[in-house]
Structure 1
Amino acid sequence: MRDLILHNPRCSKSRETLKLLTDRGVELEVVEYLQQPLSKVQLREVCALLGKKPLEIMRTKEALFAELGLSKDNGYSDEQWIDVLASHPKLLERPIVIYRGRAAIGRPPENVLTLL
């Protein structure tokens, strides 16, 4: 996967993470994932790069999670969680930075410095 940040410009942590990296001269493609949702294949790749299961990169405290009747304990398979993320990109944790074949979640923003 190419060097990029999965970015939501309305999110302060996402903006802080992007600034932290650009201030250090890191060039990334900015992907506004709410406008350009990831495919299921891309979501699987992000999970693999992060070393996390789909549920672990999901915003489970987001109101939409409850509105959809979702629960962390509902017994969904990883593939079912990928389906949820593909259908509802708002539930994807943010920001996620992919850089030189590795990935990190920018919460806190300084987490992504491990990629440099």
Structure 2
Amino acid sequence: MIEIWVNPACSKCRTAVSELDAAGKEYVVRRYLEQPPTTAELEDVLARLGLEPWDIARTADAPKLGVTLPARDADHRHTWLELMSDHPGLIQRPIITASDGTTVIGRDPDSLATVIDAG
């Protein structure tokens, strides 16, 4: 089973869902703005992506969310995770995880193909 974290207002999310439908894949939608991920869930996703929290942050959205972002370093990593859990609008989208653990930020056709082939 594939899980996709979406914001329904996001065109990239709608495209990813359409691609999953076209491929005949079964998936679960998580509206992450309504059901924010925990810091542990973010840690898991980041480990599978091989990225740091600031790598999947929508930093340009921080001011409109009233968030001041900390430094991008190990000392502030947990603060980033807490901010992203408390303000899920900071999280890049869509994040898609296939049943085999393959995880991508599905913003381009190649990333979508990777997770569709894996799932």
- What is the TM-score normalised by the length of structure 2? 0.85
Q: CA deviation at 1:110?
A: 4.1
Mind listing any 5+ residue stretches in structure 1 that lack a counterpart?
none
Separation in 1 of the partners of 2:54 and 2:72?
A: 11
Q: CA deviation at 1:66?
A: 7.4
The equivalent residue for 1:48 is 47
Larger relative helix fraction: 2
Q: Which amino acid in the other structure matches residue 114 of structure 2?
A: T
Q: CA deviation at 1:3?
A: 2.6
CA RMSD of superposed structures (Å): 1.9
Mind listing any 5+ residue stretches in structure 2 that lack a counterpart?
none
Quick check: 1:108 aligned with 2:108? yes
| Same amino acid, percent of matched pairs | 34
Distance 1:66 1:37, change over 3 A: closer
Cα pair 1:5 1:95 within 8 Å, conserved: yes
Cα pair 1:96 1:104 within 8 Å, conserved: yes
Separation in 2 of the partners of 1:55 and 1:9?
A: 23
Cα pair 1:5 1:28 within 8 Å, conserved: yes
Cα pair 1:106 1:112 within 8 Å, conserved: yes
Q: CA deviation at 1:46?
A: 0.7
Comparing 62-71 and 73-82, the one that deviates more: 62-71
Separation in 1 of the partners of 2:12 and 2:64?
A: 20
The equivalent residue for 2:56 is 57
Quick check: 1:25 aligned with 2:24? yes
Q: CA deviation at 1:64?
A: 3.5
Deviations 1:86-114 (A, max 9, x none): 11001000000000211000112542211
Deviations 1:65-93 (A, max 9, x none): 6732225x465522111011011001000
Distance 1:39 1:80, change over 3 A: same
- What is the TM-score normalised by the length of structure 1? 0.87
Cα pair 1:54 1:78 within 8 Å, conserved: yes
